[in-house]
Amino acid sequence: MAGRRWIAPALICGLAVALITIAPPSLARAEQIDLATLPAFKTPKAAQSLILALAAVGDRLVAVGERGIIVHSDDNGSTWIQADVPVSVTLTAVTFPTPTEGWAVGHDGMILHSTDRGETWQVQFDGTRAAAAVRQDAERRVALARARADAASPQDEAALAALDLAETALDDAMAGVRFAPSRPFLAVAFQDARFGLAVGSFGQIFRTTNGGASWVYLGDRIDNQERLHYGAVMIDPSGRIVVAGEGGRITRSADRGEHWTVTALPERGAIAGLRRVGPALLAYGGGGRVYRSVDDGTSWTRIVTCTGKTLIAGLVQADSVRLYDSGGAALVSDDGGLRWTCPAAPDSSPRPVAAVAATADGKLVLAGPGGLRISDIVTAR
C-alpha cells in the first residue's frame, strides 16, 4: 500500500502541486494523537495556513485545508473567520449545493457536514467505516474469482490472473482496515441537499441519497481492478455523474451511480479537475493537458494549451474558463475551452494555486501555500 501514489490535485509539496506518496501512519503516532477526534486548533493565522479548496455560498466564501482548518469570509476575502471543526485531519475538497448545507472531505476517509453556511461542522462518515465497506467488497470479489478459477480449465490463464488480482486487492483492503482510517477522499460533489458522491484514493467512491445519513460504497459497480485513484467528480443538474483520476480514464453514470461506463482518454495521464462550460465538459491535469467533450463525456478531444505543467485549479464564469498550473501561472479561455492563452502574471513570482473562487465584487480569491489572497485580476461578474 505504501508504494501506491494518490492524486493530490490540491495538495502542495514544497513549491509545486504534485502526486505524493503516502504511507500508513505509525501505530505509535496513532496512539499519541487521533486527528480524527481532535478538534481543529483555533488560531488567528488560520487563513494563512495551507488552504486546498474553496466554495462560494452566495456572498460567502468557505475555504478548507490542513489540520482541519475551515474559514469563511463575508467581505469578499478581506477577513476570514475560523469555523468550529471536530477533526484535525487535512481537508481536500468542499461543496455547497444549497445556500446553507455543505460538505467537506479529506484524509482519514473523513466526510463533514454543515447546515449553517460553514460556521460549524459535524462528522458524517470516516475512514473506519469506509475501509470496512471496501474490505467487504474485496472479499466478495475474491470469492467470485475463486469460484470461476475452480471451474475453469488449468490452461485458463485469464481466470487465474483475475483471482490473483482480486486477492491482491483484498490484501490491500485488509491493510486499509488495519491502518484505518488512513485513506483520503479527494473530491466531493452534490446535486442537491440529498444526492452526492465522495471519491478518493484506491478507487474509493461512496454515494449518499439521503443527505449523508448513510453512505454506500459503489466500487463493486465500476471496472477499476487496478484501484486507480479518483481525484475529481462532478454531477450535472440532470444527475449525470462524471468521475476522473489516474490512468486517463473517465468514468460516467447516467442513472445516479447504478451503472457505469469507462472511457479512455488519448493519453493515460492523471486528471485533476472536471468542469462544465456550457454544452462542453473539460477535463484537465498532468502535463498541461486539457480534454474537451461535447457529447457528455462519450468522446474527448485533446486541446492545445500554453503550458506543460500540471493543471490544478479551475474556475468557470459563463464561457470564460481560468485554470492554474502547478507553478501558479494562469491559462485563460474565452470560448468554452477551445483556445487557451497564458496572460502574464500581475507579479513576477507567482505562487502555486490549489483553488480559486470568484468574489461577489468580481475579483478572485486564490488559495494554496501561505493561505488565501485576493488577486489583482478583476473578472466579469
Task: Enter the pTM of the model.
Answer: 0.85
Quick check: 241 pLDDT over 60? Answer: yes
Please tell me which residue, 23 or 368, carries the higher pLDDT value: 368
In this structure, the number of other CB atoms found within 10 A of the CB of residue 178 comes to 12
In this prediction, residue 182 carries a pLDDT of: 67
Q: What's the confidence (pLDDT) of residue 227?
A: 83
Q: State pLDDT tens for residues 255-283.
A: 999 999 999 999 989 999 999 999 999 99
Can you tell me the distance from the alpha carbon of 191 to that of 194, in angstroms, rounded to the nearest whole number? 8
Count CB neighbours of 184 within 10 A: 27
Considering the domain 5-126+181-378 in this protein, what is its CATH number?
Answer: 2.130.10.10
Classified as helix, coil or strand, 161 is helix
CA contacts within 13 A on the Cβ side of 156: 13
Torsion angle, CA of 367/232/137/165, rounded to 10 degrees? Answer: -110
Instruction: Report pLDDT for 378.
Output: 61
User: ∠ CA(246), CA(252), CA(254), 5° rounding?
Assistant: 170
How many residues are given for the chain?
Answer: 381
Nearest alpha-carbon partner for 316 in 236, 379, 252 = 379
Give the whole-number percent of the chain exceeding pLDDT 90: 65
N- to C-terminal Cα distance for the chain? Answer: 46
The angle subtended at Cα 71 by Cα 67 and Cα 75, nearest 5°, is: 160
